[in-house]
Amino acid sequence: MGGADPKHKHGPACILAYVNTLSGKPGVYRMLDQDGVLLYVGKAKNLKKRVSAYTKYDRHPVRIKRMIRATTTMEFVVTGSETEALLLEASLIKRLKPRYNILLRDDKSFPYILMRTDHPAAQLMKHRGKRKNNGDYFGPFASANAVNRTLDTLQRAFRLRTCSDSVYENRTRPCMLHQIKRCAAPCTGEISLEDYTVLNRDASDFLKGKSEKLRTRLQQQMRQAAKDLQFEKAAEIRDRLKAMAFISSGSGSAVGNVAPTTFMEADVAAIYEDGGQACVQVFFFRAGQNWGGNAYFPRHSKDQHPAEILDAFLAQFYLGKPIPKQLFVNLDLPSKKLLETALAERREKNFKILKPLRGEKFEIVERARKNAGEALARKLAETASQRKLLAGLADVFGLTEPPERIEVYDNSHIQGAHATGAFIVANVEGFQKREYRTFNIKDASTAPGDDYAMMSEVMRRRFSRLLKEDGQNWPDLVLIDGGKGQLSAVTEALEELGVLARTTLIAIAKGPQRNAGRETFHMAGRAEFTLPPRTPVLYYLQRLRDEAHRFAIGTHRAKRKKQMHTSPLDDIAGIGAARKKALLGYFGSAKRIANAPQEDLARVEGVSKKLAKTIHEYFHE
């Protein structure tokens, strides 16, 4: 990585200086401003030719002109092929989030269904993350709800266990799931392991797409059972067939009752653009079944074409995700051939991107496009409502304009123990959960339970970091859960940093008897005041305060729970799990170990005289 260093140049002149040093090889380039902030990441089949296009300043739209003017530095990576450049570009955009790139937001890993095979009685469970367990993985599913819905129906159809191994081993009689016909209860021998294995095999065949053969076989068994007057068994098989039909149809999913007949495995991605914003609806079809869908709202500029947005979205979307046999889209993609080649290489099998023009595939893509339109309409309506609330906030607090970024702070502790500070972030798009942050209270001079000192420490640390980051993501409005005392402590902390004038501070104190709706607000230079009850702005402020409180409490509880499972012995070198177990077994508690003489410590199996001395010195410094 590297390039020339055209000092004191910016814009087209800076870019031209780099062009003179570039080769015609494929690669990736980055454009940065004078503060080193990344503006844009791009790929090129021919780096010299692509970058030189930026020197023709007048040919570009206003957005690109602004980016060119801001450019003072460029960096380059030469790649072995254009497909390699495409994947590297997508990876960098996803990780670095450049200002001028189309960006996939809210990108989460997808859940799977895991059929564990490392136990005599296979366990059916939801799985997300690395594939550490032995077994068959089925997915991806669009959401946890889609997995839960499918798991619930699979239990009804095949009666496979979902309990953990420890619960399984300790059962002495069938659980409630067996009573309501959701589990065959292999744990207590209500079904033999051989017959349970047949159920497991049937469920796996169904999830692998072998549903027609399985359905035919079950129908034959049902008819035979009825013929033999085994009506209970026939009814059980009938219910299994109904449950299988429910999953296959995709009932309850966003795409509706769709079971494709012309393909078994594919993703569908359709984009809808309106009001300068776009939504991409993605549906997953595996094993001839609909496994749900998600709506995404990529960040982009208003002048970018929907096909360009969808193209960039897909390159980022499939990073680290399973790639299907084929992808159906509703627009012709600019980089279709390149994307096909790159994803086929990653999949190590053929991969096709198709734009259906008629038939079942076209109808499914069109349904996805309509879903995208409906999701975008809902988001635009929510955004309009949110803008109205922010405008109301500006009126209530005397701001010159609606705040673009709000941060809400709260502390949590129990009599000073496990003290934690936290803040949440909200803007016109609602709560930005990826930007929530927590702080462990570290200042040794802070007295246990001193809320003012804790809030002051959190503010100093937060705004000191913002200053180091050149003020990126600076809040326009800061809400503090507290009263005059908290406001004074925070004001003093920000004055010390010299940033008090750069934001608006407001403390929100709970009403008498902590009644919601009677909150008191405190601002510098203004007498305390309340808002009329049952007004939208007051409800919004309560939501912000309650979300910060929920997040701070949740963080505090997690910290407390973690420390409940730790021991002072964990910090002593030379003591692992076996020695800790031996010491606790001998003395009964960590407190008794701390008070034990060195000679008694040495009597424990596995503890030498040297280690006994180390333990004793640790507790008696």
CA–CA separation, 243 and 246 (whole Å)? 5
Specify the residue for token string 């910016």.
10
pLDDT the model gives residue 591: 76
Residue at 102 is within a domain: no
Q: Which residue has the higher pLDDT, 580 or 71?
A: 71
DSSP alpha helix (H) spans, 286-358:
306-317, 336-347
> SS3 string of 45-63?
CCHHHHHHHHHCHHHCCHH
CA–CA separation, 239 and 221 (whole Å)? 13
Minimum mean pLDDT range among 150-159, 363-372, 478-487, 513-522? 513-522
Give the domain range for residue 117. 112-249
pLDDT of 450 above 70: yes
Residue 188 DSSP one-character state: G
Residues 417 and 530 in one domain: yes
pLDDT the model gives residue 473: 82
189 phi, psi to nearest 5 deg:
75, 20
Residues 20 and 124 in one domain: no
pLDDT level of residue 7 (50, 70, 90 thresholds) = low
pLDDT level of residue 51 (50, 70, 90 thresholds) = very high
pLDDT of 577 above 90: no
pLDDT level of residue 487 (50, 70, 90 thresholds) = very high
Domain end, chosen from 360, 377, 394, is at 377
Q: Which token pair is 428?
A: 């016109």
Residue at 446 is within a domain: yes
Residues 373 and 473 in one domain: no
Residues 451 and 342 in one domain: no
Q: What is the mean pLDDT of residues 155-160?
A: 85
Q: Do residues 426 and 395 touch, judged by C-beta distance below 8 A? A: no
pLDDT of 4 above 50: no
pLDDT of 243 above 50: yes
Q: Do residues 184 and 190 touch, judged by C-beta distance below 8 A? A: yes
Residue at 212 is within a domain: yes
pLDDT of 511 above 80: no
Residues 54 and 127 in one domain: no
pLDDT of 162 above 70: yes
Specify the residue for token string 């990876």.
91
Domain end, chosen from 70, 96, 122, is at 96
pLDDT the model gives residue 107: 67
pLDDT of 184 above 70: yes
Per DSSP, which regions of 532-615 are E strands? none
pLDDT the model gives residue 233: 79
User: For the chain, what is the domain count?
Assistant: 5
Q: Which candidate, 302, 352, 349, 299, places its Cα nearest to that of 329?
A: 352
Specify the residue for token string 């920000």.
494
Mean pLDDT, the chain, as a whole number?
Answer: 85
Q: Do residues 286 and 245 touch, judged by C-beta distance below 8 A? A: no
Q: Do residues 292 and 146 touch, judged by C-beta distance below 8 A? A: yes
Expressed in percent and rounded to 5, the helix, strand and coil fractions of the chain are 45, 20, 35
CA–CA separation, 512 and 251 (whole Å)? 49
Residues 534 and 428 in one domain: yes
Provide the CATH number for the domain around residue 50: 3.40.1440.10
Q: Do residues 257 and 202 touch, judged by C-beta distance below 8 A? A: no
CA–CA separation, 598 and 614 (whole Å)? 9
Residues 424 and 277 in one domain: no
At residue 46, what is the residue type? N
Q: Dihedral sign, CA of 170, 173, 174, 179? A: negative
Provide the CATH number for the domain around residue 336: 3.30.420.10
Residues 521 and 614 in one domain: no
pLDDT level of residue 315 (50, 70, 90 thresholds) = very high
Q: Which token pair is 446?
A: 């802070």
Residue at 364 is within a domain: yes
- Phi and psi based region of residue 295 (left: phi greater than 0; alpha: psi -120 to 50; beta: remaining): beta
Instruction: Give burial (CB, 10 Å; 0-12/13-18/19+) of 130.
Output: exposed
Report the percent of the chain where pLDDT is more than 90.
Answer: 33
Q: Is it true that the peptide bond before 6 is cis, omega within 30 degrees of 0?
A: no
pLDDT of 494 above 80: yes
- For every residue of 140-209, DSSP letters joined together read --SSHHHHHHHHHHHHHHH--B-S-HHHHHH-SS--HHHHTTS---GGGTSS-HHHHHHHHHHHHHHHTT
CA–CA separation, 329 and 340 (whole Å)? 13
Residue at 391 is within a domain: no
pLDDT of 366 above 70: yes
pLDDT of 256 above 50: no
Residues 241 and 133 in one domain: yes
Residue at 55 is within a domain: yes
Q: Is it true that the peptide bond before 568 is cis, omega within 30 degrees of 0?
A: no
Residues 293 and 369 in one domain: yes
Report the percent of the chain where pLDDT is more than 70.
Answer: 91
Residue 565 DSSP one-character state: T
Residues 574 and 506 in one domain: no
Helix (H) or strand (E) holding 161: none
SS3 state at 490: helix
CA–CA separation, 156 and 47 (whole Å)? 58
Q: What is the mean pLDDT of residues 377-382?
A: 88
Q: Do residues 177 and 123 touch, judged by C-beta distance below 8 A? A: no
pLDDT digits (tens, 9 = 90+) for 456-473: 899 999 998 888 876 678
- Strand pairing partners for 284? 267
Residue at 26 is within a domain: yes
Residues 155 and 41 in one domain: no
CA–CA separation, 112 and 478 (whole Å)? 40
Give Cα separations from 594 to 584, 589, 615, 619 (angstroms). 11, 9, 8, 6
**CB atoms closer than 10 angstroms to residue 178:** 20
Distance of CA 619 to the CA centre of its chain: 43
Provide the CATH number for the domain around residue 584: 1.10.150.20
Residue at 395 is within a domain: no
Give Cα separations from 400 to 161, 367, 405, 473, 477 (angstroms). 60, 44, 14, 19, 12
Domain end, chosen from 249, 278, 302, is at 249
Q: What is the mean pLDDT of residues 439-458?
A: 80
- Phi and psi based region of residue 365 (left: phi greater than 0; alpha: psi -120 to 50; beta: remaining): alpha
Provide the CATH number for the domain around residue 463: 3.30.420.340
pTM score over 0.85: no
Q: Which candidate, 52, 31, 12, 16, places its Cα nearest to that of 99?
A: 31
